[in-house]
Structures are given as C-alpha cells and as structure tokens.
Amino acid sequence: MTTPAAATTEVRVLLVDDQPLVRASLDMIITDAPDLTVVGEAGTGTEAVRLTAELRPDVVVMDIRMPGLDGIEATRIITEGTADAAGVPRVLILTTFDQDEHVYGALRAGASGFLVKDMELDDIRAAIRVVAAGNALLAPTVTRRLIAHFAHRPPALCTAPEAGSAPGPALLAAITGREREILTLVGLGRSNAEIAAELFITAATAKTYISRLLTKLHARDRVQLVITAYESGLVGHR
C-alpha cells in the first residue's frame, strides 16, 4: 500500500513595495512555488502595517524606501512585542546592499533577513522559507556591512533594550565564557558547522549553545545575537 505524502505547510506572504512592477515580478516568482502563496500587496508602509494586521501573513517582504512610513518603521511596528510572541510575522527586507544605507536600522527594527532584487529565483523562495521556519537569513554581505558600521564606533553603553530590539550588552553578564565564545563567532557570521569545527565540538552542541543564548539574551533570532555581539564590543573592536 502506498503511504500518502505528508501535507506541505503553506507559507503566506505579503509583498510591500511602492513599485507595482516589482510586486508583480515577486508575485510571479513566489506563486510559482506550491508551498508559497501571496495573500496581499501593499505600496506603502502604512498599508503594510494595516494589511499585516488584517491578513496575518507568515512573511512580509518589505521594501525600505517608500513614501510616508518607510520600511524600517513599518518593520518595527509589525515586529514589536516580546521576542517569543506567537504569530508575529517575519520580515524580509527587500534591498540592494551596495546602495541601501539602512541595513543596520532594519535589523534593529526586527527584520529577520534580506532579499536582494537581483537574487536568483530559487534563492528568493528559499529565503522566504528560511525565515518562515523561524530562522534568520544573514548573508556574509550583511555581516561585512555591520562590521564596517561598528568599526569606527565605541562599544555601546550598557542600557536596557528597547522593545523588539536587540538585547543590551548588560545581559552578557548572564552568559558563560563558552557562550561568549559562541556569541563572538555568531557575530562574525559563522555557521553552526563552522563554530563546531573551530571550537572542536559537535554541530548539535553548537546549536544547543545558540538556543541557550537566544533564551538568556531574550533575542528573537540569530540576527539579534549578531547585533548584540557588535554592540557589546565582542566583534568589531577586537
């Protein structure tokens, strides 16, 4: 007897861009995948906030530069709340790394990753799936930009974190020396496998350490761990 295939979980996507042609192109790319569905489109940040509340998408693909409420502030409104709030949509920022100077601001606002407008089709769909699964998508290009952003700044003062933002450096007092090592490597853009190889531990152990860091630092995802590593001086001031 043939065993029926497991049902595929559908990822609901909201597209936000002030250019109708960009939205139309993304719609065609996304709906071509059987597990991805575009549930709505918005041309402004204000409309994005309203439609997110109405449609409850899993992922919001958000442009940054829009008239009125921009993509960074719209992202902040959409993702605000506790780090483990159930049902909070993930935001993928739509940008061009070489031109957009707001990458750091978008991460601080709660974005879980980035899409580049000239990415390969399969990479765009894969990125949506990654963040829908609760993971962060931080490309090496973004990591390099963050390092450059912090390279000429002194470490941030130990202040309490804003709601929905990366945890403050003061919380580092709660982590162990080994967890500090792991956090530093996460900040440098290392994958779990690379962390495991560098510290002579298993990938599963590296994953466990990262899970502990997310809990101890009240971080939403790996992106916020990266920001904490920079702001605390673990990365960029060594």
Token representation of residue 230: 């920079």
Q: Each residue of 94-151: pLDDT tens digit?
A: 877 655 567 777 878 888 888 877 788 888 898 899 888 877 776 555 555 655 555 5
Contact criterion met (CB below 8 Å) for 70 and 47: no
Instruction: For residues 100 and 168, state if they share a domain.
Output: no
Q: Each residue of 178-236: pLDDT tens digit?
A: 999 999 998 887 888 889 999 999 999 999 999 999 889 888 778 778 878 877 888 76
Greater confidence (59 vs 172) lies with: 59
Res 5 pLDDT > 50: no
Instruction: For residues 95 and 33, state if they share a domain.
Output: yes
The Cα angle at residue 140 between residues 232 and 79, in degrees rounded to 5: 65
Instruction: For residues 166 and 76, state if they share a domain.
Output: no
Instruction: For residues 63 and 130, state if they share a domain.
Output: yes
Instruction: For residues 132 and 186, state if they share a domain.
Output: no
Domain encompassing residue 94: 11-137
Instruction: Say if 3 falls within a structural domain.
Output: no
CATH label of the domain that carries residue 19: 3.40.50.2300
Instruction: Say if 152 falls within a structural domain.
Output: no
Instruction: For residues 170 and 119, state if they share a domain.
Output: no
Token representation of residue 223: 């992106």
Q: Which residues are registered as beta bridge partners of 137?
A: 113
Instruction: For residues 61 and 120, state if they share a domain.
Output: yes
Instruction: Say if 31 falls within a structural domain.
Output: yes
Domain count of the chain?
A: 2
Contact criterion met (CB below 8 Å) for 104 and 85: no
Contact criterion met (CB below 8 Å) for 98 and 60: no
Work out the average pLDDT over 7-32.
90
Tell me what pLDDT residue 86 has: 54
Question: Backbone phi, then psi, for 66, in 5-degree steps?
Answer: -140, 155
Instruction: For residues 132 and 166, state if they share a domain.
Output: no
Token representation of residue 170: 């003061």
Work out the average pLDDT over 56-74.
93
CATH label of the domain that carries residue 169: 1.10.10.10
b/e burial code for range 9-36 (CB count within 10 A of at least 16 → b): eebbbbbbbbeeebbebbeebbeebeeb
Tell me what pLDDT residue 155 has: 46
Res 68 pLDDT > 80: yes
